[in-house]
Amino acid sequence: MNNTVLVLSGLDPCGGAGLVADIESINQFGVTPLVIITNLTVQNTASVENLVEVDCKFIIQQFECLQADVDFEVVKIGLLSSIQQIRTITKLVKNKIIVLDPIVKSSSDFDFLDSVLIDSLKHQLLPMVKVITPNLTELQILADEQDEQKAIKKLSYNWILLTKTDSSDDVIEHCLYHYGTLIQSFSYQKLPGSYHGSGCTLSSAMSALIALGLDIEIASKRALDYTYQTLLNAKSIGKMQLHPNRQKPL
């Protein structure tokens, strides 16, 4: 392993989620993020209004230019917005260690992926992924299955770190599965408020820790602890959702 992670994701102008969250999180572990923008978005702390896809030819040029100069093994993938983009990126990263944050819809309920794109993501990219970090809604949509255990079995690709925010009024539970088998669960006290970019923070921290050579179980615990710390210290910059405060990990 080395101390770089390639990030392919969208740009959130208000900095709560997307590439800004990825860069801030990865940097905190002493790892360097290499950044390729997949989409430009119009959004703030309250809503997502629009997005523009970056041309696939340009993404290929950026990837090949980086790969010719910098060694990287770990790739963190966030927002993808077309079948062509999914196909292109799948080909580019086929021999890499992939951490996928499956962004299906925003926390403000903007739908990023329709059923056609979800099917493409599920059948092309997901089988190559090392770790996927969905919340329960994303898991159910990707698997087309409401029952959690059946959904896990249908998506039993390598490692799944599942976040269940609605499992209790007092506790948020995270479950780590390996090929459909529960390996470990982690519980944290539920915090008040709504947060913009917690999923990006978690998946980016995971990618950084994997790049540093940690195994998945240890990386999961450390990434979750770090993400929770950013929520404990969250800040308000706008009118709605709070920003995770991605400072130095404990």
For residue 131, name the pLDDT band (cuts at 50, 70, 90). very high
Residue 41 lies in a domain: yes
Model pLDDT, residue 250: 53
Residue 250 lies in a domain: no
| Alpha carbon distances (Å) from 226 to 12, 105, 116, 157, 233 | 21, 24, 34, 25, 11
The confidence score (pLDDT) of residue 113 equals 73
pLDDT of 24 higher than 70 = yes
Is residue 193 in a domain?
A: yes
pTM of the complete model: 0.93
The tally of domains found in the chain comes to 1
Tens digit of pLDDT for each residue in 77-91?
A: 999 989 999 999 999
**What sign results for the dihedral spanned by CA atoms 211, 217, 220, 226?**
negative
Residue 92 forms part of a structural domain: yes
In 105-233, alpha helices (H): 115-120, 136-143, 148-154, 198-211, 216-232
Stretch among 46-50, 150-154, 220-224 having the lowest mean pLDDT: 46-50
Q: What is the CATH number of the domain that holds 102?
A: 3.40.1190.20
Q: What does the alpha-carbon distance between residue 166 and residue 223 come to, in Å, rounded to a whole number?
A: 20
Residue 248 forms part of a structural domain? no
Let me know if residue 89 belongs to a domain: yes
First to last CA, the chain: 22
Which pairing describes strands 159-164 and 171-178: parallel, antiparallel, or unpaired?
A: antiparallel
Whether residue 118 is predicted with pLDDT greater than 90 in this model: the reply is no
pLDDT band at 95 (very low <50, low <70, confident <90, very high): very high
106 is a domain residue: yes
Q: What is the pLDDT of residues 164-177, one digit of tens each?
A: 976 677 899 999 99
Contact between residue 164 and residue 189 where contact means Cβ atoms under 8 Å apart:
no
238 is in which domain, residue-wise? Answer: 4-243
pLDDT for residue 65 is more than 60: yes
Higher-pLDDT residue of 105, 198: 198
Q: How many CB atoms lie within 10 A of CB 225?
A: 14
| CA nearest neighbour of 21 among 227, 210, 238 | 227
